[in-house]
Amino acid sequence: MRYPFVVGRSDFIQGDEAIARAAILAGCRFYAGYPITPASEIFEAMALYMPLVDGVSIQMEDEIASVAAIIGASWAGAKAMTATSGPGFSLMQENIGYAIMTETPIVIVNVQRGGPSTGQPTLAAQGDIMQAIWGTHGDHSLIVLSPSTVQEAFDFTIRAFNLAEKYRTPVILLTDAEIAHMRERVYIPNPEEIETVSRKLPANEEEARLPFGDPHGDGVPPMPIFGRGYRTYVTGLTHDEHGHPKTVEPEVHERLIRRIIDKLERNKADIITYETFGLEDAEVAIVATGIVSRSAMSAVKMLRERGVRAGFLKLNTIWPFDFEMVEKLAERVRKIYVPEMNMGQLYHLVREGANGKAEVELISKIGGEVHTPMEIIERVVG
Amino acid sequence: MYLKSSYEIRDKYLRKDMLPTIFCPGCGIGSVLQFTLRAIDDLGLNQDEIVWVSGIGCSSRVPGFVNFDGLHTTHGRALAFATGIKLTNPDLRIIAFMGDGDAAAIGGNHFIHAIRRNLDVTVILINNFTYGMTGGQVAPTTLKGLKGTTAPYGQFENPFDIAQLAVAAGANYVARWTVFNYLQGINSVKKALQKEGFTLVEFLSPCPIGFGRRNRMKTSPELIRWYQEITVPLAKAKNMKPEELEGKIVIGEFVDRDRPGLVREYQEYIKRAKKMMGWEG
Ligand SMILES: Cc1ncc(C[n+]2csc(CCOP(=O)(O)OP(=O)(O)O)c2C)c(N)n1
Ligand code: SF4
């Protein structure tokens, strides 16, 4: 396989570019999108690369159509992705729900910018955390990953495809304008160095007849690809194991939705990753995600130089959320600070996790600039 | 054309475990489904190479009753989903079953853009002048003065002529019939299924429950008689004055051309890309 970019060495590239290259190395062969700042460069890179690897890159009429197209592509057998920013992400919510309900593996990148509405197109924010987790209607679950560097944007994109395929679910990669446009050194691995996962296919006719069942007991049904003679019917309506609509039977709805949520909940240990620094002896902890993690990390190091026993928890996965882990942390520290570029979204999750065992304080910043380490330090030392 | 019995068609193509259908007595959707299945059967198409897609509405429930791969999607968006399926696997032939509200209101944008791209799909459009599934509200096709639950005093907006819209947007094949134009209907679907690019067969289809009841046509035969009154064959319409055509709906075959479809265009695009990058001669 020939790649339209150099592999097996480092390159100095932007976050958006890193996501596009990672997607191709992860096996993505269908991209549909609609231009929006600060996500357009992902599309532009995909437009350049996709035809060269015999993949599809197509500009749809809007974001609603973009998600729809990648869901269709996924049922036809492709690993598929779209990318957008706030307003486009809002438009996608209806079909994100459809992807959850039909257990369609897809990857959606949301490069956050200031909102609500068209807000601040060129400036970073973390205002879509709740939208990523809870944006679509109904009871549901999906996976949300949050990188803090360009290298992570690359690595997490590959992970996003693998998790989507493994658990037959949409995965949201939540980045921001800062990571999108910042250039950093990124190691672009050789394809052999990358572990890629592909969805489970039905092993036989019997499994294919249960496209929404649980033949393996792991909550993840094998996915019958269109055109292979299985004659699968896929609907966003509540359906039974065969895919037949059953909209007024409470027990069918309950069984379906609980399985969809449970297949991620029971695999939390595999899905959730985080990093810590100095938490062993910490009195105060800082919890952050995405771009703010970098300031938070610097702040913790500087605090420790000043003799403050600070520790850091960096969340790479924001959903599913590890409430138990945060509670254990809260039992050990006096106070948890949550710096984030919004009016308090991660804060809600952390506070719920802390469960009253420690005080949780929000360090909110909006307007488009990332917290400086000093801004965090000042709040911690009072 | 040799006509097989309906039982044969039913047994060969319907999912028995999904029956009965949700359709009301007198609904025209079943007839249109039969035309479509007969067209498939007559052409001898491979059942495993056809994917049915649909949005939301009574018409969109059809893919659930046929024994094919099917994607029942969100309201109005079937063609956007179809774009992904078709470009990923061009060997699949796609039939989109949609309602007039589904295609022309909430899905209007997807509809015109799928046509502009010349997406390789055959759209079977059920035009019943109303929103059947949600209980008889007016649709973008409702003729002026006709009633619906959201225009109880008679529609005050202008209707879309969906077939003409499709012609203008660039479809390769467009025809419109009523459900009692049995042979023309089947022939048009056959033609549509054999062509590259975007093809549309629109059927004026009775919805006695959602639409007829509110417009003094409680039964299917009453609606069909009314269709006979308001429809004008294309050949006849050509010699009629605009005033005479006021309130009438022209039926027939409006366009039949062979512009390259999206799949072929994209395959050419891949070749061009590789050539421009010096990957291939
Ligand atoms: C986003 C969204 N809005 C509204 C609805 C409710 N809804 C379901 S079917 C329908 C209209 C169906 O009318 P049409 O497309 O003409 O099909 P018919 O039922 O007449 O065959 C509407 C508005 C929905 N399901 N989704
Ligand atoms: S409401 Fe109308 S379109 Fe829907 S099934 Fe009944 S008759 Fe058919």
Across A320-353, b (16+ Cβ under 10 Å) vs e yields bbbeebbbebbeebebbbbbbbbeebbbebbbeb
**Given a cut of 70, is residue B222 above it in pLDDT?**
yes
**Given a cut of 80, is residue B1 above it in pLDDT?**
no
**Distances, alpha carbon A368 to alpha carbons A124, A292, A341, in Å:** 5, 12, 8
Mutate to test the pocket of ligand 1, among B24, B31, B56 (most ligand atoms within 8 A of CB): B56
Determine the straight-line distance between the first and last CA of chain A, rounded to whole angstroms. 57
Q: What is the mean pLDDT of chain A?
A: 98
Cα–Cα distance between A333 and A378 in angstroms, integer? 19
pLDDT tens digit sequence for A18-58? 999 999 999 999 999 999 999 999 999 999 999 999 999 99
B127 pocket-lining for ligand 2 (C-beta < 6 Å): no
3-state class (DSSP) for residue A80: strand
Element (H, E) at B3: none
Taking residue B153's Cβ as centre, other Cβ atoms within 10 Å add up to 7
**ipTM of the complex as predicted:** 0.97
Taking contacts as CB-CB distances below 8 angstroms, the residues of chain B near A44 are: none
**Given a cut of 70, is residue B281 above it in pLDDT?**
no
Once rounded to an integer, what is the mean pLDDT over residues A369-378? 98
Order of strands across the sheet that contains A170-176: A56-59, A28-33, A79-84, A106-112, A170-176, A143-145, A317-319
Task: Using CB atoms, pick whichever of A52, A71, A75 lies closest to residue B277.
Answer: A52
Once rounded to an integer, what is the mean pLDDT over residues A308-312? 98
Task: Using CB atoms, pick whichever of B18, B82, B113 lies closest to residue A72.
Answer: B82
Instruction: Answer whether B234's CB lies under 8 Å from B256's CB.
Output: no
Cα–Cα distance between A58 and B85 in angstroms, integer? 13
| Nearest CA owner, ligand 2 atom 1 | B132
**Given a cut of 90, is residue A382 above it in pLDDT?**
no
User: Which of B242, B238, B125 is closest to B177 using CA atoms?
Assistant: B125
Query: What is the number of the ligand 2 atom nearest to the C-alpha of B135?
Result: 1
Once rounded to an integer, what is the mean pLDDT over residues A186-215? 97
B128 pocket-lining for ligand 2 (C-beta < 6 Å): yes
B132 pocket-lining for ligand 2 (C-beta < 6 Å): yes
Element (H, E) at A59: strand A56-59
The model's pTM is 0.98
Residue in chain A lying closest to B54 (CA): A235
Cα–Cα distance between A291 and A146 in angstroms, integer? 9
Once rounded to an integer, what is the mean pLDDT over residues A244-272? 98
pLDDT tens digit sequence for B183-209? 999 999 999 999 999 999 999 999 999
**Given a cut of 70, is residue B180 above it in pLDDT?**
yes
User: Is A4 in contact with B277 (Cβ distance < 8 A)?
Assistant: yes
Taking contacts as CB-CB distances below 8 angstroms, the residues of chain A near B70 are: 232-234
User: Is A72 in contact with B88 (Cβ distance < 8 A)?
Assistant: yes
Is the dihedral angle over the CA atoms A263, A102, B263, B114 positive or is it negative?
negative
Is the dihedral angle over the CA atoms B8, A246, A260, B97 positive or is it negative?
positive
Q: What is the DSSP letter of A1?
A: -
User: Is A52 in contact with B273 (Cβ distance < 8 A)?
Assistant: yes
Beta pairing partners, B201: B124, B175
Task: Using CB atoms, pick whichever of A30, A64, A228 lies closest to residue B80.
Answer: A64
Going by DSSP bridges, is the β-strand pair B93-99/B173-178 parallel, antiparallel, or unpaired?
Answer: unpaired
Mutate to test the interface with A, among B18, B85, B279 (most CBs of A within 10 A): B85
Angle A290-A293-A295 from CA coordinates, rounded to 5°: 130
Query: What is the number of the ligand 2 atom nearest to the C-alpha of B128?
Result: 3
